[in-house]
Structure 1
């Protein structure tokens, strides 16, 4: 059981660390300010906590390493698209503050902090769904 947790943790943290690197490189090359180190730090530290908790969760549910890898690659792709949209979607903040314009739903999604933090819940929910929908062995 302990070795299973270690593998789930290592896969989780490796994928999140690669995601942190890609997001910080995207920030470095696409933005005018040099926030890349802050982006790398936030994604890495939150990814470390997530990897530990998700590794425990996956080992308790006895999920496969393939399941862990697929869920985390999906989370990684989501984060990369989220950071790309955050950097490249332009907003006229002056027009919004004057009341001449409002944020669209897409702009609200990409600029919201919740779209980053709630993404960490998706692998837990999908893993639990696969656990409940997986057929149980019948030993009769």
Structure 2
């Protein structure tokens, strides 16, 4: 009986995360199609979609293990979705004269470096995990102080 409840809870956390990220993936692909090089939309769809599948599976497991609510899953993944949408939009719209940068005539600003950094993209996927564990520790400390 408990395995069925755990499985249902896992699937619910997974569905929340994957649903939000599916909307994000479609939006990012559309931004790539309309704002960037239109033939790369499918690569964006496949890449972020596969990352979303892996992320949702791991994040749902963490949420189940920490006993966090469905609402917290929605909030944490919602922040990730907004972050990814903003990142992709900025990546596509920030203009950089790469010829001048390569020739040494111009240097990237801090903002341009941040937007074009691969690390900025990958760090986004760590935040929901960190916030989930922090939320669990705060709840645990509050429960201990009540007893």
TM-score class normalised by the smaller sequence? over 0.9
Deviation string for 1:37-89 (max 9, x for gaps)? 11111110000000000000000000000000011111000000000000000
Pick aligned residue for 1:136 from 126, 132, 143: 143
- Unpaired runs of at least 5, structure 2: 1-5
Q: Which residue number in structure 2 is paired with residue 19 of structure 1? A: 24
Q: Which residue number in structure 2 is paired with residue 79 of structure 1? A: 84
Count of matched residue positions in the alignment of Structure 1 and Structure 2: 140
Measured in 2, the distance between the counterparts of 1:138 and 1:32 equals 55
Q: Which residue number in structure 1 is paired with residue 70 of structure 2? A: 65
Q: Which moved more, 1:25-34 or 1:59-68?
A: 25-34
Measured in 1, the distance between the counterparts of 2:93 and 2:102 equals 20
Q: Which residue number in structure 1 is paired with residue 10 of structure 2? A: 5
Question: How far did residue 116 of structure 1 move?
Answer: 1.1
Matched, 1:39 2:44: yes
Matched, 1:90 2:70: no
Question: How far did residue 138 of structure 1 move?
Answer: 7.0
- For residues 50-61 of structure 1, the aligned pairs below 5 Å read 50-61=55-66
Q: Which residue number in structure 1 is paired with residue 3 of structure 2? A: none
Over 3 Å counting, the alpha-carbon distance change for 1:139 and 1:82 in structure 2 is closer
Q: Which residue number in structure 1 is paired with residue 54 of structure 2? A: 49
Q: Which moved more, 1:129-138 or 1:119-128?
A: 129-138
Q: Which moved more, 1:33-42 or 1:80-89?
A: 33-42
Q: Which residue number in structure 2 is paired with residue 121 of structure 1? A: 126
TM-score by structure 2 length?
0.90
